[in-house]
Structure 1
Amino acid sequence: MKWVTQARYLGLHYSPDSSFESCTDELFDAGQRAMYALINKLRRKGLFIPRIALMCFDTQIRSILSYGAQVWGPYFLLQLLDRPRDAEGRHCYFDHAMEDRMVGIQRTFLRTLASIGRVPDNRLLFREFSQEPLHLHWATLVYRFWNKLVRGKNSISHNVFREEIRTALLTNCIRPTWGSMVLQGLRCLGHWPDLPADLDLEGRVDFLSTREICIESVMFTLEEHFKEDWLSPRLLILPRDFVSDGGKPGVKMCRHTHWMGMPHHDASYIPMSVYTSLLRFRLGAWALEVNCPNGRLREQRWCRVCNNADSVEDEYHVVMECPAYTEMRAGFAELGMGQSSNMLQIMSMQDQLGLARIIHSIRMRRSSSMGRT
């Protein structure tokens, strides 16, 4: 017999000399290759637009990165959940999820879709495309698998499931076994099953092995923790009054909340040439003076297009104030936006194609005025 260092079973690689979660190494490599192949193919076909590209990512890339997550997923979930809160009392689940290399593939795909090299804020990037880090999908698969095992009474898998629970209870969920990690993750989320106090070990095993997880409730808690920065009262401050101290949700989130709002641009077709201008504008990725501090105070980042030393060049100034774009700004009236419309209403208008064309024309005018191509 040939001696090998690892074996493959049902598409996953295992090795006695490495941890079980290392079986995701091949999934990462395969997912990365598939992502770049998908991007190239969609671009050749002229289909690399968010609405189509995101559906292709879910069916082709996410499925690779989530293969077997029912088994290895609890390890990565516990790495995310079992961490102390920061000094401000936040769980920081989103920040920790960004450290995962699998989510790195997802982030690279979204960044390429938005045509930006550097992401100003990953929270804006994921929100703009209505995406969540892969951990939420993995959690759903894990909890569905638990419920499937509960319903599979008198089967081999159910007997193994009972042994997993017994091992977890005997070690107080300390050992890195599948059952221990699932139960420990539920404990971190505040959804530990309410075990009757008068039960012995076998009674607790019987109780847990017949107890389905309320997936809707657990996922609601997990999603709320992922969105905690978007619920911060600091975001209620007006963007131009916001002072970023580096330790709390940033000013870009504040500007996105007050000036951009929730994305509505995925409902209809928008040519990618103008779509890119809209996406980059919404993400705060334009090379505006406010986005290029260069050690200057905010009030010193004045607009070099209108040469008004009293006007800071930010997204609001570009859309609502700068006299250099008055001609293009008149197009908002043709799209149903009156003089009393604020920026949030303009960026959330129903005709997103018309909005994208105006934003693109402003971008071209600005580039011309700044002597850029």
Structure 2
Amino acid sequence: MLLMFADDVVLISDTITGLQNQLNILHKYSEYSSLEVNLDKTNIVVFRRGGRLARNEKWFLNGQPITTLSTYKYLGVVFSSTFKMRNCITDLALRGKRALMEVISNLNGIGIIDPSVYLKIFDAQIQPILLYGAEIWGMHRFYEIEKVHLIACKRFLNVSPQTPTAIVYGECGRYPLYINALCKTLKYWVKVIHMHEDRIPLKVYKMQVYYDNCGYKTYASYIREILFAHGFGYVWMSQTVGDAALFLSRFKTVAINIFLQSWNSTLNNSSRYHMYREFKSLLTPEKYLSCILDKKFRNILTKFRCGLLRLKYNEGRWLNVEVAERSCPLCNLGVEDEYHFIFTCTEYNALRLKYLPCIYQKQPNYYKFKSLLSTNNETTLRNLCKYIYHAYKSRTIKLQ
């Protein structure tokens, strides 16, 4: 009965003659059933490692030649003749970016929205496009997919495309999409190993396990490497997971923890993050993104936290100037970095008295600096934004 509703047919053969015989049978069946094959939508892909097609690699349907392509999109996935997923990923990234730009365009008229709402829209509308078919390619990391995710985060933060990835993840409290792709891959693997013995996917998987044991690289090989890399080697050895939901939850937790270790290592081992790591230690969305509704104030705080304001310390980093030569152009009392801008420069004393709480004005130190930049007190955050905005505006005017 289901064949009555089929609107497409896939023929697969490992020989030239075998495929032609299948096409001949298809033609006979079409005539018998009063159906017509649309040759404009009928194509052939010869899967091979490379090289040109042989002269005899030509196929016909009712005497008419069928076009041979190197790539073909089937069920939303672009298959390549060389078994590479690059064309598929490029197509997914392009569609995801197009959908993201449409979402951003629709949200522009609303103004500032809560980060949880914006990111929920991304996860519901864009992420399914980017991770479509990840069950078969999700064991690999593709920058094109993550790039769309980063564009979404950077557009929300209103920062430049060159803003370091670690800071973007930190401000938004996000982790890379490859973790979700890995989970989709393993979820499908769990589904396959629990199939009935007569199911073709399970038979194909067992064949791949056999070839993996013989030293060949297969889909099963990547599953094995993922499980061992995340501390689940025993699951591969037993080929069973017990409670599937619990296993997948534990795997995702481990994958996130591995990323968090890498993220913290990035912050601690690079001078680029010398100031950011002073006040950022947890990968959680920042409070100011949801409570500061004035765009100009929120943007200035974001750029300040990300090290994007044109302070002498940041400019020196961009131009590779020695740290000792990055002194404050207004007071010359030391290097003009974020700490100096908030607590030390004498040009902003009046603004400090007006906007900063008294506790931060008396005996300032790095502990108070960290406390101020990591506070969740909405009043303090609003006053901090106003201080940075007016102080930086004053600095710009004085240096003109």
Q: Same fold (TM over 0.5)?
A: yes
Alpha-carbon distance in structure 2 between the residues aligned to 1:108 and 1:194: 36
The residue aligned with 1:296 is 321
Shift of 1:182: 1.5
Counterpart of 2:151 (choices 108, 118, 123) is 108
Alpha-carbon distance in structure 2 between the residues aligned to 1:326 and 1:155: 78
- Letter in structure 1 aligned against 2:128: S
- Measured on the aligned residues, the alpha-carbon RMSD in Å equals 3.0
Counterpart of 1:228 (choices 261, 269, 275) is 261
Measured at CA, do residues 171 and 234 of structure 1 come closer, stay the same or move farther in structure 2, by a change above 3 Å?
Answer: closer
Alpha-carbon distance in structure 1 between the residues aligned to 2:201 and 2:262: 40
Measured at CA, do residues 301 and 229 of structure 1 come closer, stay the same or move farther in structure 2, by a change above 3 Å?
Answer: farther
Contact map agreement 2:312 2:337 (CA 8 A) in 1: yes
Contact map agreement 1:174 1:180 (CA 8 A) in 2: no
Gaps of 5+ in 2: 1-38, 44-68
Alpha-carbon distance in structure 2 between the residues aligned to 1:234 and 1:108: 21
The residue aligned with 1:358 is 387
The residue aligned with 1:19 is 84
- Letter in structure 2 aligned against 1:30: R
Q: Does 1:117 align with 2:140?
A: no
Task: Return the TM-score normalized by structure 1.
Answer: 0.75
Shift of 1:366: 2.0
Contact map agreement 1:27 1:64 (CA 8 A) in 2: yes
Alpha-carbon distance in structure 1 between the residues aligned to 2:82 and 2:340: 59
Measured at CA, do residues 49 and 195 of structure 1 come closer, stay the same or move farther in structure 2, by a change above 3 Å?
Answer: closer
Q: Does 1:318 align with 2:341?
A: yes
The residue aligned with 1:274 is 297
Aligned ranges for residues 162-201 of structure 1 at < 5 Å? 162-172=203-213, 175-193=216-234
Q: Give the stretch that moved more between structures: 181-190 or 260-269.
A: 260-269
Shift of 1:368: 1.8
Contact map agreement 1:173 1:183 (CA 8 A) in 2: no
- Letter in structure 1 aligned against 2:211: L
Q: Does 1:258 align with 2:299?
A: no
Contact map agreement 2:166 2:266 (CA 8 A) in 1: no
Measured at CA, do residues 334 and 17 of structure 1 come closer, stay the same or move farther in structure 2, by a change above 3 Å?
Answer: closer
The residue aligned with 1:208 is 239
Aligned ranges for residues 92-107 of structure 1 at < 5 Å? 100-107=143-150
Alpha-carbon distance in structure 2 between the residues aligned to 1:62 and 1:220: 19
Percent sequence identity over aligned pairs: 19
Shift of 1:314: 0.2
Measured at CA, do residues 35 and 185 of structure 1 come closer, stay the same or move farther in structure 2, by a change above 3 Å?
Answer: same
The residue aligned with 2:191 is 148
Alpha-carbon distance in structure 2 between the residues aligned to 1:132 and 1:210: 25
- Letter in structure 2 aligned against 1:31: G
1:241-278 Cα offsets, whole Å, 9 max, x none, are xxxxxxxx212323112145553324434222211101
Q: Which portions of structure 1, spanning 4 or more consecutive aligned residues, are displaced by more than 6 angstroms?
A: none
Other structure's SS at 1:362 match: helix
Shift of 1:149: 3.3
Alpha-carbon distance in structure 2 between the residues aligned to 1:260 and 1:17: 45
- Letter in structure 1 aligned against 2:313: V
Alpha-carbon distance in structure 2 between the residues aligned to 1:31 and 1:114: 19
Other structure's SS at 1:286 match: coil
Shift of 1:327: 1.9
Larger Rg belongs to = 2
Other structure's SS at 1:215 match: helix
Alpha-carbon distance in structure 1 between the residues aligned to 2:236 and 2:373: 51
Measured at CA, do residues 23 and 270 of structure 1 come closer, stay the same or move farther in structure 2, by a change above 3 Å?
Answer: same
Say how many residue pairs are matched.
322
Measured at CA, do residues 234 and 20 of structure 1 come closer, stay the same or move farther in structure 2, by a change above 3 Å?
Answer: closer
Task: Return the TM-score normalized by structure 2.
Answer: 0.71
Gaps of 5+ in 1: 78-96, 197-206, 236-248
The residue aligned with 1:35 is 100
Measured at CA, do residues 172 and 290 of structure 1 come closer, stay the same or move farther in structure 2, by a change above 3 Å?
Answer: farther
Shift of 1:175: 4.0
Other structure's SS at 2:313 match: helix
Other structure's SS at 1:291 match: helix
Alpha-carbon distance in structure 1 between the residues aligned to 2:241 and 2:301: 51
